[in-house]
Amino acid sequence: MLPVTSISLAARRLRAYLAEHIADLEETGVFIDHPKHAIDRVEDGRQHLNLFFYRLEHDGYPAHATSDDPVYFRLHCLITALGADDNESIEELIPAGENDLRLIGEVVRLLHQRPMLDLLDPASRPIAQLQIVPTPFSPDDINRLWSTQGDTPYRLSVPYEMALVPIPLARPRQTSKRVGALGVAAGPGIDPGSALGGTVDVPTTASVLPIISVDIARSDWTPRIGLVMADDSLRHAVVFSSAAVVPETLSVIIAGNPDEPVQLQWEVWQATDGWTVWKPSTAMILPPNGPILDPGAAGSHSVPLPLIGEGAVAEYPAQATLQVIREWPNPRTGSIEAIKSNLLLVSIGQEDA
């Protein structure tokens, strides 16, 4: 048996996503094949899609890359609707041609609403995020591609590009630290000579978050989270000069429906491992403080910081991000979807000697 590659996993990931979210479409009904072969495999009375991966395009070599680093490709896919007559409806017969339109319409809607798919390795670790981009296809392009399928009649199709696919797969990309805030100070009385000949003060304090209201009347409401500072302001980032001045817990406010608890997730960055998910001994599940992200209108939660205390990272400088994840049962598809909040960022400088 041939080994599994990131290209084949990307194809399977797209197939599973479409099959899961399109009604009356099973994963066995989404083929990864040549259109001619897929049409021969169609079962009467069932709706099908076919994913035809027809081009693999090299993305080029980054200036800083070596042969030990992954190489990245753009994967081009033609998604073809293989609809069938629907005789189950008592009111009307839905012909195959209309079901082709319905299938392609759902594909376009889904990939517009979620244009990013995670690519996971066999251990379910995220390796890369694939961006799914519609690609232009002229009538000449269609004719040239479809002419390779013999006498197979053309079926309604839509082309997409999946980028970027890393090869080899089992080498997670080492991501860098995140930037909390940037700014430039300006004011009266500055000596141009000293400014040009010396340094310019660039403050790095994160901006204060505004009061935000979450519409919890919507079933798919998105939670928000803010970091409570000593002056009772809310911010999205904080910087500590060293581990010696970092508290073991942080105060946060979560905006959302108090009757629907949410899960908190930390990710930790170290120079040796990049970004990794921090997994405490017990899951951090907390109720939102209320529908408004405002320190004056609600209490706060005390959350342990993974960079300090028991189970803390061993090396500094380091960073951590905190995010709220809400599980939402999608009534349309029947599946559980993860709705994620904004990120909070904590940065710690070099540990004191």
CATH number at residue 303: 2.60.40
Alpha-carbon distance of 251 to 78, in angstroms, equals: 49
What is the token pair recorded at 351?
């540990």
Identify whether residues 158 and 219 lie together within a single domain.
Answer: no
Identify whether residues 158 and 81 lie together within a single domain.
Answer: yes
Q: Residue 323's beta-bridge partner residues?
A: 265, 343
Identify whether residues 14 and 132 lie together within a single domain.
Answer: yes
Q: Is it the case that residue 229 has pLDDT exceeding 60? A: yes
Identify whether residues 144 and 257 lie together within a single domain.
Answer: no
pLDDT of residue 341: 92
CATH number at residue 140: 3.30.2000.30
Identify whether residues 138 and 199 lie together within a single domain.
Answer: no
Identify whether residues 203 and 335 lie together within a single domain.
Answer: yes
Domain C-terminal end among 167, 201, 235: 167
> Is the residue at 174 inside a domain?
no
> Is the residue at 241 inside a domain?
yes
- Residues 6 or more apart whose CB falls under 8 angstroms from that of 71 comprise 58, 59, 61, 65, 166, 167
Q: Is it the case that residue 353 has pLDDT exceeding 50? A: no
164 cis-preceded (ω within 30 degrees of 0): yes
Burial 118-129 (b: 16+ CB within 10 A, else e): ebebeeeeebbe
Comparing 178 with 233, which gets the higher pLDDT? 233
What is the token pair recorded at 234?
């809310």
Alpha-carbon distance of 328 to 222, in angstroms, equals: 10
pLDDT in tens, 159-205: 999 998 888 775 555 567 777 666 565 666 656 555 444 444 445 56
Identify whether residues 41 and 148 lie together within a single domain.
Answer: yes
> What is the mean pLDDT of the segment spanning 200-226?
80
Instruction: Return the SS3 of 259.
Output: coil
pLDDT in tens, 242-285: 878 888 889 999 999 999 999 999 998 877 777 888 887 778 89
> Is the residue at 175 inside a domain?
no
Q: Is it the case that residue 23 has pLDDT exceeding 70? A: yes
> What is the mean pLDDT of the segment spanning 91-115?
90
Identify whether residues 155 and 296 lie together within a single domain.
Answer: no
Identify whether residues 142 and 271 lie together within a single domain.
Answer: no
Average pLDDT, the chain: 83
pLDDT of residue 125: 67
> Is the residue at 14 inside a domain?
yes
At residue 134 the predicted structure's pLDDT band, cuts being 50, 70 and 90, is very high
pLDDT of residue 247: 86
pLDDT of residue 174: 58
Instruction: Return the SS3 of 222.
Output: coil
Comparing 6-20, 58-72, 338-352, which segment has the lowest mean pLDDT?
58-72
Domain C-terminal end among 152, 167, 182: 167
Q: How far is CA 69 from CA 63, 122, 123, in A?
A: 12, 19, 20
Identify whether residues 207 and 156 lie together within a single domain.
Answer: no
Phi, psi dihedrals of residue 243, rounded to the nearest 5°: -65, -20
Domain count for the chain: 2
What is the token pair recorded at 328?
């939402």
The letter for the amino acid at 137 is F
> Is the residue at 172 inside a domain?
no
> Is the residue at 62 inside a domain?
yes
Identify whether residues 214 and 132 lie together within a single domain.
Answer: no
Identify whether residues 199 and 343 lie together within a single domain.
Answer: yes
> Is the residue at 322 inside a domain?
yes
> Is the residue at 336 inside a domain?
yes
pLDDT of residue 196: 46
What is the token pair recorded at 197?
């000949």
Q: Which residue has the tokens 């380091």?
A: 318
**Reported pTM:** 0.56
Q: Is it the case that residue 44 has pLDDT exceeding 70? A: yes
Domain residue limits at 32: 6-167
